Amino acid sequence: MTLTQERLHTALAPLVFQFFTQAGSTNDLAIDWLKQGAPNGAVVIADEQLKGRGRMGRTWYTPQGVALALSVILHPPDEELPQVSMLGALAIAELCDQLGLSDIGVKWPNDVQVNRRKVSGVLPEVVWDGTHLTGVVLGIGINVRVDFSGTELAETAISLESALGESLDRVELLSYLLGRIDDWTGRLGSYALFAAWKARLNMIGNLVTVSNGDYGIQGMAQDVDEQGALLIRTPDDVLHRVIAGDIVMG
Ligand code: BT5
């Protein structure tokens, strides 16, 4: 159950990684490491985050000893960037498959849900040096046994252990997840990766509302394109291409 440097060294032997018992945000640490030349596939892992970040300045809750918080450093070519976050969600969904969970889905763009509750979030952050792509940091947070009772997330979040009704070993979960990430990284840029991500999306064909802070639109979630954008058809029969935002049903 413990996530120690020693256990990680044994389980993740070929990996270049940094482990912190406590961090602000693993993405921030990974961005610094990337700028200092971290190799493709390097990973930052923390047992607890004090300033875990979500998208658009939101907070990601990572209490000590009960979650996985990691950031994988990748050096894809520019044109493969849209698939990096798809890759993250896909690898997490496959981890859920491996555990034997049912009702697993990806809520566009990249929330992994179990029983329609969020078990994991993905935060890709791209680092540029002028017009040159330095690399991308793929942040992943997974709830393993986070107790959300009495919090504002009690109705919307879930942990792997409560969904499964079993206790889990975080090092084993991490090892499997990194294996899936490694596998899909080898297929970055492929139609297969896009198709596998698309097949996991759980709101296509439904009436949804999308908001991105500036505006909200309601319509049919018709499809996604290969860049990861959501295509929404509004009642006036106009097809909108949404590149970022949050969706809710109805
Ligand atoms: C995300 O943002 O879902 C991306 C989360 C990425 C977290 C990882 S952890 C490792 C790495 N280092 C970081 O600092 N971040 C990454 P977003 O779609 O904006 O969702 C954020 C929202 O999810 C919050 O506003 C809450 O409503 C909810 N939330 C926060 N913590 C949660 C949790 N542990 N489980 C489920 N939902 C949560």
Domain of residue 236, CATH code: 2.30.30.100
| Ligand 1: centre distance to CA 55 (Å) | 7
Pocket test for ligand 1, best of 43, 60, 61, 107 (most atoms within 8 A of CB): 60
In tens, the pLDDT along 67-122 reads: 999 999 999 999 999 999 999 999 999 999 999 999 999 999 999 999 999 999 99
Same domain membership, residue 134 and residue 12: yes
Mean pLDDT of 205-215: 88
| Ligand 1: centre distance to CA 54 (Å) | 4
Same domain membership, residue 165 and residue 131: yes
What ligand 1 atom has the least distance to the C-alpha of 30? 12
pLDDT of 12 reads 82
Residue with tokens 């759980």: 202
100 or 11, greater pLDDT = 100
Confidence of residue 221 (pLDDT cuts 50, 70, 90): very high
Distance of CA 125 to the CA centre of its chain: 11
pTM: 0.96
pLDDT of 81 reads 96
Same domain membership, residue 102 and residue 52: yes
Query: Using an 8 Å Cβ cutoff, are 49 and 123 in contact?
Result: no
Domain assignment of residue 237, given as a range: 207-249
In tens, the pLDDT along 160-205 reads: 999 999 999 999 999 999 999 999 999 999 999 999 999 999 999 9
Same domain membership, residue 218 and residue 102: no
Same domain membership, residue 170 and residue 218: no
- Domain count of the chain? 2
